Amino acid sequence: MIVLLVVSCARYLSRLDRWKDWENRHQTELARNDIEIAYVIGRPCEPSLATAPGWSNLHALDVGDEYEDLPEKVLLAFQWVRETYDRIEGVFKTDDDIVFDVSILNYIRLLGWVPYWALQNGHIFHQQIHDHVYARASRPLEVKALEKCVHALGRGYYVNQHCIEILTEDIAASTALSYHEDYLVGLLLNRHNIFPVDFGFLLAPHYRLPG
């Protein structure tokens, strides 16, 4: 089974209504590809939506809900997936302001054997990084490694079970490296010689929602 993980926050719960509508319309395709959708947000409060009918797959993590908390939220979400779902093959992570054409489900299933792949890759070089990108890095070695990072952009990427094990090995130490979740995931996997495969041709069947 593959989990389609939608990361959101309490401030933008209205975006999840659009995702839930998408989920309800495509139950057949999800089941055929053995894909389940999970929605995660952070605290400060458990939203009433989480207890509403049809929202059993919304989970509030014990983590802050601001932008700077996103790296920890995503890694904790991966950990929650590992602990919650049986037979997990991998996770396709996306944002709450992205909704896909249903055809993306076929590709997620077909490409499930690739350890780490993305809708679009990014590369970090010294001259392109603003100070706030590596503001959390405590040692020069960490900054140097981050500057060489090849990462998947956060709009949509897949990590298999082995990658998830790496990403959740030491969440507290890992989240100290970067404020940016997509850079951080790339950095942690690059250190194990795992680099994202860029499937740019899949950009066509996705679109960004307004707001």
Q: What is the pLDDT at residue 20?
A: 93
pLDDT of residue 155: 77
Note the pLDDT of residue 22.
93
Residue 76 falls inside a structural domain: yes
**Residue 210, pLDDT score:** 46
The count of structural domains within the chain is 1
pTM, whole model, 2 decimals? 0.86
Residue 180 lies in a domain: no
List of the chain residues with pLDDT < 70? 44-53, 122-148, 154, 202-211
Q: What burial letters (b/e) apply to 144-167, b meaning 16+ CB within 10 Å?
A: ebbbebbbbbbbbbbbbeebbebb
46 within some domain = yes
**The two three-digit tokens of residue 142, written as one number:** 């960490």
Question: Domain containing 29: what range?
Answer: 2-119+153-168+196-204
In a domain, 75, yes or no: yes
- According to the model, what pLDDT value does residue 92 have? 96
| CATH number, domain with residue 17 | 3.90.550.10
Round to the nearest angstrom and report the end-to-end CA distance of the chain.
31
139 is a domain residue: no
CB distance 168 to 72 below 8 Å: no
φ/ψ of 126, rounded to 5, equals: -55, -45
